[in-house]
Amino acid sequence: MKVLLTGGAGFIGQHVRAQLVAEGHEVLTFDSFRPDVHASRPEPSDDVVVGDIRDAESVRRALPGVDTVVHLAAKVGLGVDLDDIDDYVSTNSLGTAVLLRELAHAGVRNLVYASSMVVYGEGRYDCERHGQVAPGPRRPEDLDAGRFEPPCPICAAPLRPGLVAESSPPDPRNTYAATKLNGEHLTATWARETGSRVTALRFHNVYGPGMPRNTPYAGVAAIFRSALERGEAPKVYEDGRQRRDFIHVTDIATAVTTAAAALPEQPPVTTYNVGSGTVHTIADLATELAKALSGPFPVITGQYRLGDVRHITATSAKLRAELPWSPTHTLTTGVPTLLTPDQKPVASRSV
């Protein structure tokens, strides 16, 4: 199988590429090497294309002979402020639309789309009196007062967080989340109108070797590690009890390759949550990183970002039941892998 891997020079992309090659597939990596993510562009090569996903000509020239596309290319993270909104929409939504148009013209009919658990917004919550409820947007006055847990929207009682299934309604609460959900809608439309197949994978919080460093768009694991490498204590927002599912990047890679191989047997549109299946807190992650790097223990700051959600953990039972995949790392076994050297950038050729 020949696979076009967009965003293949990024953190997750490098691991997916290595897994695809290990499984015997031919891989063509497509990446823009944008300067806010990559420090430099590598030397030319025959198996990597330097191009912007929004540039139809670059995409078109990468497609001959391709059987399957794995679409990872995206501007990631919560963002800095609303000045980022047009860049997120242009890179993620427009970029996906350009790719889909070119796939339709080229007759490529198999696609794995990298989505995110952020499309759900807040996770599942249950009230003892009113059952499953959806809390409203978090209010700055509550967060300023240290009231981080969302109350029941009906009776204001405390809620019990739970696991989100793929059938739960999406509720994106920041720009990145909105563009990831828009990508799901665009790929589903493409699949139905062209007789193609798309599998959307909603990644949980990914960590592992090669995480980006010292960028405002990095995930929380990368931010904590960068602080520890500077000899500083990781700064944990709110009270540190935010629930997340941290999944190792090699487990993400095998989920992607497994989904790609299964595409010919899948329905036109399939969605899977991809997580470790174990709930941890943000403070748990910071503590494990501090132990692994022999650094100072985390500091709970009480600060917050309004676009963050309190708890979001989802069940990956559907993926485990329908495809031959299961994660291999726990947080305890995965965090020490961050002590290994980061991977080198891949080579490239320009189009």
pLDDT tens for 203-230 read 999 999 988 776 655 678 888 998 999 9
Give the C-alpha distances (Å, rounded to integers) separating 286 from 97, 98, 293: 37, 39, 11
Residue 348's pLDDT band (boundaries 50, 70, 90)?
A: very low
Specify the pLDDT at position 338.
Answer: 83
Specify the pLDDT at position 344.
Answer: 41
Beta strands in the chain, from DSSP E residues, in sequence order:
2-6, 26-31, 44-50, 68-71, 110-116, 124-127, 131-133, 160-164, 197-203, 205-207, 235-236, 243-244, 246-248, 269-274, 280-281, 299-300, 313-314, 348-350
Specify the pLDDT at position 347.
Answer: 37
User: Which range among 135-149, 184-198, 222-236 has the greatest average pLDDT?
Assistant: 184-198
| Average of per-residue pLDDT values in the chain | 91
Q: If 0-12 CB within 10 Å is exposed, 13-18 middle and 19+ buried, where does residue 324 land?
A: exposed
Specify the pLDDT at position 343.
Answer: 41
Residue 40's pLDDT band (boundaries 50, 70, 90)?
A: low
pLDDT tens digits, one per residue of 255-300: 999 999 999 999 999 999 999 999 999 999 999 999 999 999 999 9
**Model pTM above 0.85:** yes
Domains, the chain, with CATH or none: 2-123+164-339 (3.40.50.720)
Determine contact, residues 29/9, Cβ cutoff 8 Å: yes
